A and B are shown apart, each in its own frame.
Chain A
Amino acid sequence: MNQEPAEILNLFNRSEELVEMLRKGRAFTEELMCENERLRYRVVQLEAENIPPPDELVKEVERLRLENGQMAHKLEFLNGKFQQVEAENKDFAQRYVEVEEQNESLANLYVASHRLHSTLDSSEVIECIKEILLNMIGSEDFALYVVDDESGELLRSGYEGETAGGAVKERLTMGEGPEGFVAMAGQPFFGEEASQEPCACVPLMIKERVVGVIAIYTLLSHKKGLSLLDHKLLELLAGHAASALISSKLYSMADRKLRTIEGFMNLLRVPQGGTNV
């Protein structure tokens, strides 16, 4: 207790500082404990959130995942099938158009042959051929040559248009010009371009015998060219036209002969009550 008052005061000050330090340490510790409590609570919270799902749910998810996979496969399969059906559909549509075109050609051919064989008058047959060439083939300028039995030449029996009516000859020898060449060869000729003159020459044939030629010089302005179906139609028409022409020619010859014979018979017949001259 012999200590100096200054020393005592110094000790007192230091103890005050220590107390203050301890107070701050206590507050800091309390703060840390509070934070610890909060974090522990948060840990519990997070653990609660991470509860593993129940088994049923896991199974359901697995089932749905599997189903999804299967559906994806089915969808892929159906897409493939759809594309296949679509392609088939396009193919059928194309075939339908082709069949319609062929139907049209057959209808044309049917009507043409029906008309050609519906008369035994050769001038009517020629008119009919002209109608067919104009209306069904779409020819604007064309000529019909018929083989003259006596001279063996080609005689222009019908025509339509300027070229056929003026520029081409009325009488052609076999082998002369494209028309004569086709008649001699017995093979049809189709020009590669519509502007070519003639753009088509088709022989009228009965078996191997050529009885005439159809020459097409120009097509109607809106018709761009002759299609393969037109070629076929022309060739088939040529066959029918040939037989119709020959039939009408034979009929008129037979008719003429019949009339001559009938005339003779009438002359030879003895009139009743009269005398034979």
Chain B
Amino acid sequence: MSNKSLLVVDDSATMRQLLCMTLTRVEGITQANITEASDGREALDKVKSGRFDLVLTDIRMPRMDGLEFIRSVRSELNDQALPIIIITTKGAEEDVQLGMNLGASGYLSKPVSMTQLREMVTSFLG
């Protein structure tokens, strides 16, 4: 699982730090493999210019929200293969359905269980 690149997208610096700390506990992931973005637009620019193996994104963000970001990756960039996990405070069934229908690969509700997150990340990175 070495040399895997991850993109963490959240407007909360606290959440980004927590996610990064959790991700570095997954075998083969170091801080150097993780790129951060604070909103959907910044994330989209980074996806356009770089290569990522997995993206973790929040939904509620300024400028461009997580759902719009996923829609852009799937339709504008026509990238259907990039796994995108949504991590959000919106945990209702219809929110999950909406996210998955837009092309999300996984969905976790905040406050996120770190064990669950690690398991999901490991399953996507193989």
Contacts and interface: CB of A to CB of B under 8 A. Distances in A.
Interface string B102-113: 000000011101
B15 A131 contact: yes
B21 interface: yes
B89 interface: yes
Given A107-B22, A220-B89, A115 B113 contact: no
Given A135-B89, A222-B92, A222-B109, A108 B18 contact: yes
A137 B18 CA distance: 13
B115 A100 contact: yes
Range, interface on chain A: 20 to 34
A108 B89 CA distance: 16
Interface in A181-234: 220-223
Interface in A131-174: 131-132, 134-138, 140
B62 interface: no
B101 interface: no
B37 to A, nearest CB: 16
Interface in A66-118: 100, 103-104, 107-108, 110-112, 114-115
A222 B21 CA distance: 24
A242 interface: no
Nearest to B20: A111
Nearest to A230: B111
Interface residues of B, number: 17
B122 interface: no
A136 B111 contact: yes
Interface in B77-126: 89, 91-92, 109-111, 113-115
Interface in B53-90: 89
B3 interface: no
Contacts of B115: 100, 104
B21 A128 contact: no
Contacts of A128: 14
Contact of B12 (A108, A110, A131, A140): A131
B17 interface: yes
A112 B21 contact: no
Contact of A220 (B14, B17, B110): B110
11 contacts: A107-B21, A108-B111, A131-B15, A135-B14, A135-B89, A136-B18, A138-B89, A140-B89, A220-B110, A222-B91, A222-B92
